[in-house]
Amino acid sequence: MERRDFMALGATAVATTLYGGENTTVSTPKSVDRLGVTAKGLRFDPKKLSGISEKMILSHHQNNYGGAVKRSNAIGEKIAALPSNAQPFELGSLKREEMVALNSIILHEYYFDALGSGGTMGEKLRKGLEQSFGSVTEWENSFKKTALSLGGGSGWVLLVYNRRLGRLENVWSWDHLHGLWDSEIILALDMYEHSYQMDFGANAKGYVDVFFTNINWDVVNKRYIQIK
């Protein structure tokens, strides 16, 4: 869609937030002089995840991810509406909130897009993990332990390829603002309580183990191949 076409849609533009093209709407900005963010649908049938309920996935996708999309677009409107004599701190506060919302959107998409099972770990990724961590088992143990360090709190665990280091790395991320720059995300695990409490209560370990059984390796392999 051309930018001018998007702007012409204005407040009537909607985004699909459910898999399979169901119509749940997320408002897009009315007057922001740039593209708003459109929510992506789930790429898998949430009824078919193993050990994770459809109810929890849909709540997570619609309320937390969808909420970040709405918030991002609302913040964009506020930035666009700031008067020219606004104080720097007024813009700065909005820019901070904008970054939180945008990173939340992006990280949730990496998370949801790699769920749904499929394939097995590819040879190229396996070799990359062996070179960076010693073995796939050591990588997985380190990834899971990093996740558990965030249990009961909030944050993300990310498997990334970092260009500066020239290797794969597990990144501990306390919130949407933490990251290791110059990295490409290969796999993202949401450790905010909203991602597991409904099904697992305080059992973060159970959630992390189930997450691994639901990884779509075809998606993960493709991400790695595209950057290597």
Using rule CB under 5 A, residue 190 touches Fe ion? yes
Among 195, 196, 207, 214, binds Fe ion (CB under 5 A): 195
Question: What does DSSP say about strands 156-162 and 167-173: parallel, antiparallel, or unpaired?
Answer: antiparallel
Q: In angstroms, rounded to a whole number, what is the distance separating the alpha carbons of residues 35 and 140?
A: 38
- Using the rule CB under 5 A, give the single segment among 5-13, 127-135, 163-171, 182-190 that binds Fe ion: 182-190
Q: Closest CB to Fe ion among 62 and 64?
A: 64
What residue is closest to Fe ion based on CB? 190
Q: Closest CB to Fe ion among 25 and 64?
A: 64
Q: Closest CB to Fe ion among 195 and 221?
A: 195
Among 112, 192, 200, 224, binds Fe ion (CB under 5 A): 192
Question: What does DSSP say about strands 167-173 and 183-190: parallel, antiparallel, or unpaired?
Answer: unpaired
Token pair of 135, please? 């073995």
Using rule CB under 5 A, residue 154 touches Fe ion? no
Question: In whole angstroms, how far apart are CA 221 and each of 37, 54, 66, 82, 136?
Answer: 26, 25, 27, 43, 14
Helix, strand, coil percentages (3-state) for the chain, rounded to 5, are 55, 10, 35
Q: Please report, as residue ranges, which positions from 31 to 70 form the binding site for Fe ion (by CB under 5 A).
A: 64
Using rule CB under 5 A, residue 193 touches Fe ion? no
Give residues in contact with Fe ion (CB under 5 A).
Answer: 64, 190, 192, 195
